[in-house]
Amino acid sequence: MADYYELLGLSRDADLEEIKKRYRKLAFKYHPDRNEGSKEAEELFKQVTEAYEVLRDPEKRSMYDHYGEQGLKGSASPGGMGGFDFSDAIEIFMRDFGGFSGFEDVFGAGGARTQRSASRKGKTIRIGVSLTLPEVALGVKKTLRVSILGECEPCAGSGAKSGTKPVVCPGCGGAGEARHVQRSVFGQFVSVQPCQNCHGEGRIIQELCNSCRGEGRTRGDTEIEIEVPAGVTAENFLTLRGRGNVGPRGGPRGDLVVLLEIEDDPRFSRDGSDIFHELPITFSQAALGDEVRVPTIEGT
């Protein structure tokens, strides 16, 4: 992938305001609503958003400046960008700029509104896992049992009763939003708000699924295997993308974040990558020398 600064057309000392301004311009240029069916525009939109997400965050930006993209990819690295995908890019754009449609008139792209297609992403789950010092030193695989919201089987995640389907909202035509136009001597202003009829979803469920009551998801326990690399610390965490809660009514899954908790070991102390064991000896042993048995991480 190209250098993040080059992608956004920025100098390496650009401030946050410059970063936001440049990203906004490029994001609107490559936004999928403006480039329907263009895989190239979709990829560029994803790339500039990934670059923006790193450079807007002082900690991630510092790590990138020092170590490049590899510094963000460690599986146990805090805030790593590994697995960044198109749904992440859309979510970030919506978070910082409130969606695309509110700006259509400003950029001359007004006209017929399209039906809303972006579903809400499921929430991220955070769980803790305890590790012994030997597990930290050698690495370990663990199986976790997690309570997760998954897709409702009877309605296949739609939230509608079996044999029925959600219908397009007649109030907004499926756009999920209501527009209010105000005119004044200064020009035309357009305010965009979620449609009150469908609560911004663009669809209405006439008959709710009996199993999930219209949510499109049900809770259940599942087993997930994780692999903890050797040498982690309590400041590290593992991010499993797409392994969290499924979103409402067919929305994509969120992430699963595993927080690492390291148990104290009475035999050893740790300083970074070094492990210490304190062994009392007698004066004669110190003066004359001796052979003694000491514990090790492997248990011998």
Q: What are the pLDDT digits (tens) for 251-289?
A: 889 999 999 999 989 899 888 888 899 999 999 999 999
Boundary-marking domain end, from 88, 108, 128: 108
Question: CA 295, CA 286: separation in Å to the nearest integer?
Answer: 19
The pLDDT, as a whole number, for residue 185 is 57
pLDDT tens-place string over residues 8-26 = 999 999 999 999 999 989 9
Do 76 and 118 have their domain in common? no
Residue 40, pLDDT > 70, answer yes
Q: How confident is the model at residue 1 (pLDDT cuts 50, 70, 90)?
A: low
CA atoms within 13 A on the CB side of 90: 12
Which residues constitute the domain of residue 248? 112-166+205-300
The pLDDT, as a whole number, for residue 121 is 86
Question: CA 97, CA 282: separation in Å to the nearest integer?
Answer: 70
CATH code of the domain covering residue 69:
1.10.287.110
Do 286 and 216 have their domain in common? yes
Do 138 and 242 have their domain in common? yes
Residue 280 in contact with residue 252, Cβ under 8 Å? Answer: no
Residue 183, pLDDT > 90, answer no
Instruction: Of 108-112, 151-155, 164-168, 222-226, give the lowest mean pLDDT range.
Output: 108-112
Q: Which secondary-structure segment (H or E) carries 64?
A: helix 58-67
Identify the DSSP state of 100.
Answer: S
Residue 137, pLDDT > 80, answer yes
Whether residue 172 lies inside any domain: the answer is no
Do 26 and 116 have their domain in common? no
Do 213 and 84 have their domain in common? no
Mean pLDDT of 215-237: 90
Q: How would you classify the pairing of strands 177-184 and 187-194?
A: antiparallel
Instruction: Of 60-64, 80-84, 261-265, give the lowest mean pLDDT range.
Output: 80-84
Whether residue 189 lies inside any domain: the answer is no
- Pull the structure tokens for residue 69: 């993209």
Residue 74, pLDDT > 70, answer no
The pLDDT, as a whole number, for residue 107 is 37
Do 149 and 284 have their domain in common? yes
Q: How confident is the model at residue 105 (pLDDT cuts 50, 70, 90)?
A: very low
CATH code of the domain covering residue 266:
2.60.260.20
Do 142 and 255 have their domain in common? yes
Whether residue 174 lies inside any domain: the answer is no
The pLDDT, as a whole number, for residue 297 is 85
Whether residue 223 lies inside any domain: the answer is yes
Do 125 and 228 have their domain in common? yes
Residue 104 in contact with residue 191, Cβ under 8 Å? Answer: no
Residue type, 290: D
**pTM of the prediction?**
0.52
Question: CA 42, CA 46: separation in Å to the nearest integer?
Answer: 6
Identify the DSSP state of 70.
Answer: G
Do 43 and 121 have their domain in common? no
Higher pLDDT, 217 or 189: 217
CB atoms within 10 A of CB 40: 9
207 CB-near residues (< 8 Å, 6+ apart): 160, 161, 164
Identify the DSSP state of 7.
Answer: H
Higher pLDDT, 265 or 175: 265
Do 22 and 70 have their domain in common? yes
Whether residue 290 lies inside any domain: the answer is yes
pLDDT tens-place string over residues 93-104 = 777 765 444 333
Boundary-marking domain end, from 61, 81, 108: 108
Domain count, the chain: 2
Mean pLDDT is highest, among 34-38, 83-87, 276-280, for: 276-280
Do 289 and 209 have their domain in common? yes
Boundary-marking domain end, from 108, 127, 150: 108
Do 255 and 277 have their domain in common? yes
Whether residue 184 lies inside any domain: the answer is no
